[in-house]
Each structure stands twice: as C-alpha cells, then as structure tokens.
Amino acid sequence: MLEGMIKEVLIDEKQLKDRIKEMGKNITNHYNEDDEIVMVCILRGGFIFMADLVRQVELPVSCDFMDVTSYEGGTTSTGNVRIIKDLEESIEDKHVLIVEDIIDTGLTLKHVINMLKTRKPKSIKVCTLLDKPERRTEKEVEADWNGFEIPNEFVIGYGLDYDEKYRNIPYIFIPEPELYEG
Ligand code: 5GP
Ligand code: MG
Ligand code: MG
C-alpha cells in the first residue's frame, strides 16, 4: 500500500508500545485510586493512542471524546477552535486528562484547555504522544506527559492522517513527496 511512499519510519511499533507502557505507569502513579478521572480523547488523531494508553493505566478511569476543528481565518489559522462533538459527561469536580496525538503550534490545545476550564474540573492535565517543540507558537502550552519529541516534519500513522487516510498504519513515518502527489 505504501511502497516508495515512506521516507523514514520515525517511531516503530515496538518503540510505541514500550513508551506507552511507561507513560501509563507514570500516569497511574500520579493519581490516586479514588480520584474521579476522565480521559478526554481529542478526535480524530488521538483515537489509536487513547485506546493503547488507557489499557496501560491501572485506575478506574472513564473515557470521553471530543472532536474539534480550527476555524480558518483567511490564509492562516486563527487558532480558534469550534466543537464538532462535545463530551458526553460533565467534568465538574473531576480530574481531566486530555489525550492528544500531537502538539504542534499548541493552538488547538490552548483553546481546548480554556474551554474545559470553564466547566470547573478539579484538575486538567495533558498527555500527548508527540511534540514538535520547534513549531510551538503558544509557549505556555506544555504536556504533563509527552511520548516523543520529534523534529519539524509532517508525520503520518498511528492515528495521524494525511487527507483522512493512513490513520491505521501501526507506526509513525515521514512520507516521501510521492504520497501527496499520488
Ligand atoms: P496544533 O498546531 O494546534 O498544535 O495542532 C493541530 C493539529 O494538527 C494536531 O492535533 C494534528 O491533528 C494536526 N497535526 C499537526 N502536526 C501534524 C503532523 O505532523 N502530521 C499530521 N498528520 N497531523 C498534524
Ligand atoms: Mg489532534
Ligand atoms: Mg489531520
């Protein structure tokens, strides 16, 4: 399916598995058994990571899902996000753990955090699989748990898409330009 389209496999399946296991342990150790925790997956990119991560967290968490999109203001993103699908549960007085695929500029996360804060959760923490620190414009946006710092390259796989495809590829890769042309 991807012959000649992969420039480099950046993170393979074994690396993902091992790192996510560690992250699950760290998250488990951070909270208490009787904390009310909601893991909030940011769709769609976060769904594969969420599924693997939640199985490495040894706490009675609930899972909820939110889909957001950036408003495009002319040629550049304004960074305002609109909710396409909101959470099903109230997060008031609960510990919220946001699960993201990648923090790039940080704009999406900044707006999601600000929206969720108004709902009076007990705490908000962020867990991201990938982080592109070079691209960050929102300097105050940081993850509490971060799987991998990556260079400023467009990556695909393990939940991350190109044109809504390839989210199902089980590893993370940098594509050859042919992928965009084909
Ligand atoms: P932000 O710039 O707001 O931090 O990131 C917004 C969204 O852009 C991310 O949640 C992710 O869905 C998408 N994105 C950012 N960098 C990449 C990338 O390298 N590959 C893919 N497939 N999506 C990305
Ligand atoms: Mg995302
Ligand atoms: Mg995308």
Selected residue with higher pLDDT from 70 and 57:
57
Cross-strand partners of 43: 67
Q: Is the CB of 161 under 6 A from ligand 1?
A: yes
Atom of ligand 1 nearest to the CA of 100: 10
Q: Is the CB of 45 under 6 A from ligand 1?
A: yes
Q: Is residue 46 domain-resident?
A: yes
Q: Is residue 83 domain-resident?
A: yes
By most ligand atoms within 8 Å of CB, the mutation choice from 101, 127, 136, 167 for ligand 1 is 101
Please check the confidence at residue 155 and state whether its pLDDT lies above 90.
yes
Give per-residue burial for 67-94: e unless 16+ CB within 10 Å, then b: ebeeeeeeeeeebebeeeeebeeebeeb
Q: Is residue 105 domain-resident?
A: yes
Total length of the chain:
182
Q: Is residue 182 domain-resident?
A: no
Q: Residues 105-114: what's their mean pLDDT?
A: 93
Active site residues: 104
Atom of ligand 1 nearest to the CA of 42: 10
Domain that holds residue 147: 20-69+78-153
Q: Is residue 103 domain-resident?
A: yes
Count of domains in the chain?
Answer: 1
Do 116 and 94 contact (CB within 8 A), yes or no?
no
Q: Is the CB of 67 under 6 A from ligand 1?
A: no
By most ligand atoms within 8 Å of CB, the mutation choice from 104, 107, 152 for ligand 1 is 104
Domain containing 143 — which CATH number? 3.40.50.2020
Do 114 and 107 contact (CB within 8 A), yes or no?
no
Q: Is residue 115 domain-resident?
A: yes
> pTM of the entire structure?
0.95
Closest-CA residue to 92 (of 116, 111, 112): 116
Q: Is residue 144 domain-resident?
A: yes
| Chain centroid, CA 133 distance in Å | 14
Please check the confidence at residue 88 and state whether its pLDDT lies above 80.
yes
Atom of ligand 1 nearest to the CA of 79: 3
- 14: pLDDT confidence band, cut at 50, 70 and 90? very high
Compute the distance between CA of residue 20 and CA of residue 22 in angstroms, rounded to an integer: 5
Instruction: Find the radius of gyration of the CA atoms of the chain.
Output: 16
Q: Is the CB of 154 under 6 A from ligand 1?
A: yes
E strand intervals along the chain: 6-11, 37-43, 62-73, 76-85, 95-103, 123-131, 145-149, 172-175
Q: Is residue 110 domain-resident?
A: yes
Report the amino acid identity of residue 171.
Y
Could you report the per-residue pLDDT of 18-36, keeping only the tens digit for each? 999 999 999 999 999 999 9
- 80: pLDDT confidence band, cut at 50, 70 and 90? confident
- Tokens at residue 35, please? 């904390």
Q: Residues 104-113: what's their mean pLDDT?
A: 93
- Tokens at residue 4, please? 């000649």
Query: Is this prediction's ipTM beyond 0.85?
Result: yes
Q: Whose CA is nearest to atom 16 of ligand 1?
A: 104
